[in-house]
């Protein structure tokens, strides 16, 4: 049974090494496992996620980041079974008052595809849970994802 996830920008901070080598390794392993399983990610078209995705592709100059870029772009981004970008411009969500404006695209994406949001933002998690929107913290999500591999 395949699963769909909405990933926020922690993904790019991890892959850029901003959160340390261990998080970079974990997120790289997530990419590899996502490819091997029947799962996929959904991304809002023209979102902050896609902007950081583009930046990563242009700045992956060291050996580690080039390897990660080859893995991600070769197995996920350009694979229609693993990656879908959706247009959320016409999605209206009435109850967004507790959601930071930078995160509204995640909620709209969730409304479009009904998939959990994976984030590291605790205030976003609290706001999403108060609205019964499916979400997980990055660390808990990855622990479970690797355990069920």
Model confidence pLDDT, tens digit, residues 13-44: 999 999 999 999 999 999 999 999 989 999 99
Please, which pLDDT band fits residue 93 given cuts at 50, 70 and 90? low
Q: Does 50 score more than 80 pLDDT?
A: yes
41 token code pair: 């990610």
Q: Where are the alpha helices (DSSP H) in 37-113?
A: 48-59, 63-72, 104-113
Model confidence pLDDT, tens digit, residues 61-78: 899 999 999 999 999 999
Task: Report pLDDT for 94.
Answer: 64
49 token code pair: 């996620």
Instruction: Show me where the domains of the chain are located.
Output: 4-147
Torsion-angle region of 17 (φ positive above 0: left; ψ -120 to 50: alpha; else: beta): left
pTM (2 d.p.): 0.93
Average pLDDT (73-87) is 96
Backbone angles phi, psi at 4, to 5 degrees: -120, 140
Angle at the Cα of 65 from the Cα atoms of 149 and 47, rounded to 5 degrees = 80
Q: Which fold has domain 4-147?
A: Rossmann fold (3.40.50)
């Amino acid at each position: 049974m395949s699963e769909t996830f909405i990933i926020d920008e922690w993904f790019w901070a991890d892959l850029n090494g901003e959160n340390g080598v261990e998080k970079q390794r974990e997120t790289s392993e997530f990419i590899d496992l996502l490819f091997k399983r029947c799962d996929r990610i959904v991304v809002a078209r023209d979102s902050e996620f896609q902007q950081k995705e583009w930046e990563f592709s242009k700045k992956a100059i060291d050996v580690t980041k080039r390897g990660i870029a080859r893995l991600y772009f070769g197995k996920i981004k350009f694979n229609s079974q693993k990656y879908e970008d959706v247009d959320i411009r016409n999605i209206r969500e009435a109850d967004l008052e507790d959601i930071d404006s930078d995160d509204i695209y995640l909620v709209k994406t969730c409304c479009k595809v009904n998939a959990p949001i994976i984030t590291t933002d605790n205030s976003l998690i609290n706001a999403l849970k108060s609205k019964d929107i499916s979400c997980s913290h990055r660390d808990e999500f990855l622990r479970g994802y690797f355990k069920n591999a």
